[in-house]
Amino acid sequence: MVTGDPHGEAVAASSRWQSLSAGIDSSHRKIDEIYGCDVFDLRKMRDRLPKNTFGAVVETIENNSKLSTDDAEVIATAMKDWAIERGATHYTHWFQPMTGLTAEKHDSLVTPDGNGGVVYRLSGSNLIQGEPDASSFPSGGLRATFEARGYTAWDATSPAFIVRGNNYATLCIPTAFVSWNGEALDKKTPLLRSIDALDKQAMRILKIFGTDEGVKSVGSTLGAEQEYFLIDRNLYFARPDLVSCGRTLFGAVPPKHQQLDDHYFGSIPPRVNGFMAEFEEELFRLGVPVQTRHNEVAPGQYEIAPLFESTNIACDHQAILMDTLKKVAGRFGFVACLHEKPFAGVNGSGKHNNWSIATDTGVNLLDPQDETHTNTQFMTFLCSVIRAVHIHGDLLRATIASASNDHRLGANEAPPAIISIFLGDMLTDLIEQIEEGKTSRTIKGGELDLGSRTLPALKRDSGDRNRTSPFAFTGNKFELRAVGSTASVSWPNTVINTIVAESLDFIATRIEEAMGKAPTPGKREEVVRKVLRDVVREHKAIIFNGDNYADEWQEEAHRRGLPNLRSTADALPALQTTKVKSVFRKYKVLSKTELGSRVEIFAEKYITEISIEAQQMASMGRTMILPAAIKHQRNLAETVAATEGAGVDSTVLRTELELFVEMVCLLKDRIEDVEQVRELPETGLMGQCEYCRDRIVPAMEALRAIGDELESQVEAELWPMPVYSQLLTLR
């Protein structure tokens, strides 16, 4: 902070807000030098903008106030100067359309000066608003191509950054993308609205407890751990299924894969570690604070975890991370595969969505503190989350639904499709106390004696972890573990923010009503406890600390009335209920039409992905596996004939041939089945989703079974594509 600078404090608070925990150790020189150097963040703005203009930016970020045209002009010029100093030639409004990916359309920063020369220019209006057309993105009926206007609007809360390659550098300005009548066409707009909703309701709770002093806003925080596979580039391109679908549609599990757990947390292969170092350096340059890297369970599988940040920025950073991951992998001869289940039979990839609520002053509102039983404010936030997840478990399930994530959920490696909450011993005990109406103890973890004088005594957490839970409390945050590795995290966090805002609203209203005006602290305590007791009574069915993989849980969950929506086709209808429509409308996150458009987009994506897979599979079956099998059959037949010609008994060989011929016929039949069921019925989108689930997916599974069986029978030399043992081994 600069002393005497009226905005010093604001910068301190806002930069903390922009990057809540990006406290990179300055002794870490190299990182310190490159960290954020391609990011036009508040610090750079403070250095480059006149005081008044800078004040206006801070105002915009903190209080959503509108920027004047003059200020926009000054900011745009400063941003442009900074960008061209760093080699940028183009700029783009960078946004997150409903594809779940990011979008960019580059415009040159160079314009004619009117005297036969050129100048670098970025006008205020170019900064604030764009009209990229972009009419080919999915809009779920929100806009037809003949009324194609779409606008991008600058999100001043997320810093602009420069994406660079060998001979290019592009200034990327984070924006929201909306239609001509202001309907959200992207993932960012609803997220920002959900953060506002959460802010408003959480502030009411702070007011109730008198802890709102100095707090300007409350928002959610997010740290999303990303799992991914690295596949050797040459092998990857020899597999049409990986190229067009991102996963193997055929492939027998090799004898040795992950059974020995020898890959998990294993020593990182040097080529991979080299890639990780460059990947991370690139992220630091873009201001994405990453912290953890390791080998994951499956061979060829890895993970990267960032430091958490405020959700809007964390979501932008997550999108940058996925993009950078793919780009840098290529330089090392890898393809980064983000699909949820690239390989059958070994673990798939997810994204652990670590979420919490924090004030702009940096207080984590889901931190239970030492004497938790005295921390009524924490209990209030906790109970709000419990209530939200119980009421909207089906919505959360629908939020993470996709054709690719269907392969992973419930497959004994990822949480089941039933949404429940894990709280651990300490909080479960606390919840029981709340239900009884009196909280008097906090279970402590104590110390662990390791039985050796040379080892330190370890502080033990008050509860163990539960890796099987889809929504687990992990010390001072909740972790939604069911998000798919390809997914954009903006949508799940939009949903969590919204449903928690609804419960905070419910609880705050109850408390405020019962408390009356000017209550004493004693009265407040009494009222809060009553309200929380009722919430726990009504919603504790969502809490489950046991093994989510166990079959008994399915029955138990059914008894508790918790939905078990196994596939995307089962889950998506949850987005169309009155309950869901009204929560989005009430908190102004999505209008009925905006929600409807999303349902349409998700359903279309599911159907299209499965249709592409079916087509790809039939084609590989027909043009790769069948010919290889026929060659093998001919070799067998020639051997039988030659053996018989030599007057030797060929019974065993002949039986082998007959069995093989049967398999080849079966392969051909199943290819035809897939070809036939590919035709979609005229039943509307939801009907088509069900058709995919009931007809196409089973036909593909049957084709895969015979294809994989043949892989283990056909001469290896004849097999037309790299097999798992090759794909999963990096040299």
Q: Are strands 168-179 and 150-154 parallel, antiparallel or unpaired?
A: antiparallel
Q: Is 434 in the site for ligand ADP (CB under 6 A)?
A: no
| CA distance between the termini of the chain | 49
Smallest distance from ligand ADP to CB 386, Å: 18
| Residue whose CB is less far from ligand ADP, 77 or 353 | 353
Question: How far apart are alpha carbons 203 and 159 in whole angstroms?
Answer: 26
- Smallest gap from Cβ 223 to ligand ADP, in A, equals 3
- How far apart (Å, rounded) are the C-alpha atoms in residues 641 and 658? 13
Cross-strand pairs, 226: 304, 351
Strands 471-473 and 421-422: parallel
Contact mark string toward ligand ADP, 162..201, x via CB under 6 A: ----------------------------------------
478 binds ligand ADP (CB under 6 A): no
What residue 632 binds from ligand ADP, Mg ion, none (CB within 5 to 8 A, per partner kind)?
none
Distance CA 374, CA 357 (A): 19
Selection from ligand ADP, Mg ion, none that 477 binds (CB < 5 to 8 A by kind) is ligand ADP
Among 95, 137, 151, 308, binds ligand ADP (CB under 6 A): 308
Smallest gap from Cβ 220 to ligand ADP, in A, equals: 8
- Told to check if 351 binds Mg ion by CB under 5 A, we report no
From the list 262-270, 349-357, 367-375, 501-509, the region that binds Mg ion by CB under 5 A is: 349-357
In degrees to the nearest 10, what's the CA dihedral of 645, 649, 655, 661?
-10
| CB of residue 70 to Mg ion, shortest distance in Å | 47
Could you tell me which stretch among 84-92, 232-240, 448-456, 470-478 binds ligand ADP (CB under 6 A)?
470-478
Which 557-596 residues touch ligand ADP, going by CB under 6 A? none
User: Pick from ligand ADP, Mg ion, none: which does 222 bind, CB < 5 to 8 A by kind?
Assistant: ligand ADP
What is the nearest approach in angstroms of Mg ion to the Cβ of residue 363?
22
Count of residues that interact with Mg ion, criterion CB under 5 A: 1
* Part of the chain binding ligand ADP (CB under 6 A), chosen from 103-111, 197-205, 222-230, 677-685: 222-230
Examine residue 225 and tell whether it contacts ligand ADP (CB under 6 A). Answer: yes
Tell me which stretch binds ligand ADP (CB under 6 A): 349-357, 543-551, 698-706, 720-728: 349-357
C-alpha atoms less than 13 angstroms from C-alpha of 273 in its C-beta half-sphere: 6
Nearer to ligand ADP, 187 or 477 (CB): 477
CB of 91 or CB of 302, closer to Mg ion: 302
CB of 215 to ligand ADP, least distance (A): 16
110 beta partners: 120
* 469 belongs to the binding site for ligand ADP (CB under 6 A): no
List Cβ neighbours of 233 (8 Å cut-off, separation of 6 or more). 330, 333, 334, 335
Measured from the CB atom, is 224 or 571 closer to Mg ion?
224
| DSSP one-letter code for 543 | B
Burial of 30 (0-12, 13-18, 19+ CB in 10 A): exposed
Asked if 354 touches ligand ADP (CB under 6 A), the answer is: yes
Q: Does 223 bind ligand ADP (CB under 6 A)?
A: yes
Region near Mg ion per CB under 5 A, out of 70-78, 246-254, 350-358, 634-642: 350-358
427: helix, strand or coil = helix
Stretch that binds ligand ADP, among 4-12, 184-192, 219-227, 438-446 (CB under 6 A): 219-227
Nearest to 490 by CA among 218, 225, 186: 186
Structure tokens at 694: 């009931």
Instruction: List C-alpha distances in Å: 26 to 2, 29, 35, 38, 314.
Output: 18, 6, 10, 18, 22
Beta strands at 168-179 and 90-94: parallel, antiparallel or unpaired: parallel
Residue 390 makes contact with ligand ADP by CB under 6 A? no
Choose which of 287, 306, 416, 492 interacts with ligand ADP (CB under 6 A).
Answer: 306
Q: Which does 53 bind (CB under 5 to 8 A by kind): Mg ion, ligand ADP, none?
A: none
Please tell me whether residue 307 binds ligand ADP under the rule CB under 6 A: yes
Query: Shortest approach of ligand ADP to residue 707 CB, angstroms?
Result: 36
Distance CA 128, CA 449 (A): 60
Residue 670 class from Cβ within 10 Å (0-12 exposed, 13-18 middle, 19+ buried)? Answer: buried
CA dist 228 and 487 (Å) reads 12
Could you please report the per-residue DSSP string of 95-107?
A: B-BTTSS-B---E
Q: Which of 187, 285, 352, 678 binds Mg ion (CB under 5 A)?
A: 352
Question: Closest distance between Mg ion and the C-beta of residue 353, in Å?
Answer: 9
Does 356 bind ligand ADP (CB under 6 A)? Our answer is yes
Phi (first) and psi of residue 71, to 5 degrees: -60, -45
Could you say whether residue 359 binds ligand ADP (CB under 6 A)? no
Minimum CB–partner distance for residue 105 and ligand ADP (Å): 32
CB of 314 to Mg ion, least distance (A): 15
Query: Nearest to ligand ADP by Cβ — which residue?
Result: 223
Residue 98 binds which entry of ligand ADP, Mg ion, none, CB below 5-8 Å type-dependent: none
Residues in the chain, total: 731
Near ligand ADP by CB under 6 A, which window of 208-216, 348-356, 650-658, 675-683?
348-356
Number of residues that bind ligand ADP (CB under 6 A): 15
Beta-carbon contacts of 575 under 8 Å, excluding residues fewer than 6 positions away, are 395, 398, 595, 598, 599, 602
317 binds ligand ADP (CB under 6 A): no
Q: Which residue is nearest to Mg ion (CB)?
A: 352
Q: Does 221 contact ligand ADP by CB under 6 A?
A: yes
Choose among 350, 393, 381, 32: nearest CA to 204. 381
| Interface characters, 416-445, with Mg ion (x: CB under 5 A) | ------------------------------
User: Would you count residue 476 as binding ligand ADP (CB under 6 A)?
Assistant: yes
Q: What is the DSSP string of 259-304?
A: TT--STT-PPPHHHHHHHHHHHHHHHHTT--EEEEEE-SSTTEEEE
Query: Exposure pattern of 412-445 as b/e (b: 16+ CB <10 Å)?
Result: ebbbbbbbbbbbbebbbbbbebbbeeebeebbee
Q: Kindly tell me the burial class for residue 537, based on how many C-beta atoms sit within 10 Å of its own C-beta (0-12, 13-18, 19 or more).
A: exposed
Tracing tokens 């670098």 back to the chain, one arrives at 120
Which of 305, 411, 637, 686 lies at the binding interface for ligand ADP (CB under 6 A)? 305
Beta-bridged to residue 304, according to DSSP, are 226, 293
Minimal distance, residue 481 CB to ligand ADP, in Å: 9
Is residue 50 within 8 Å of 57, Cβ to Cβ? no
Q: Which residues bind Mg ion (CB under 5 A)?
A: 352
Q: Which residues bind ligand ADP (CB under 6 A)?
A: 221-223, 225, 305-308, 354-356, 364, 474, 476-477
